[in-house]
Amino acid sequence: MRNHVRTLREERGLSQSALGDALGVSRQTINSIETGKYDPSLPLAFTIARYFGRTIEEIFDDQDN
């Protein structure tokens, strides 16, 4: 699943580690989400969306194109 987590994180000048700490997950998990290797659970997706002040649909895209 594609997502805009990396863009949103970089816009805020956050490191993966800092974002991980804020969301309660590891830096490796943030990296896996950003690279599309891991799709977060619904609770974590909501946490990410709330953190960035967006909706889940604005951050995660289940369509490849």
Partner 1 sequence: MTKTTDKSKAPSAIGIATGALSGAVTCAILAIIAYSAGNDSFGKGIVQGGTIGIAVMVTLLIIARTRYATAEARVVSGRADERENQVALRSASIGFVVMYAAAIVCTFLYTFGIEAEAAFAIIMFSGLIAALASFAILVRRG
Binding residues (CB under 8 A) for partner 1: these are 20-21, 23-26, 28-29, 31-32, 35, 37-38, 40-41, 43-44, 46-47
Q: How far apart are CA 2 and CA 36, in angstroms?
A: 6
**CB of 9 vs partner 1, minimal distance in Å:** 17
Output 46 or 58, the one with its CB closest to partner 1.
46
CA distances to 1, 2, 33, 45 from 21, rounded to whole Å, are 23, 22, 15, 15
**CB of 47 vs partner 1, minimal distance in Å:** 6
Tokens (6 digits) for 56: 């889940």
Output 8 or 30, the one with its CB closest to partner 1.
30
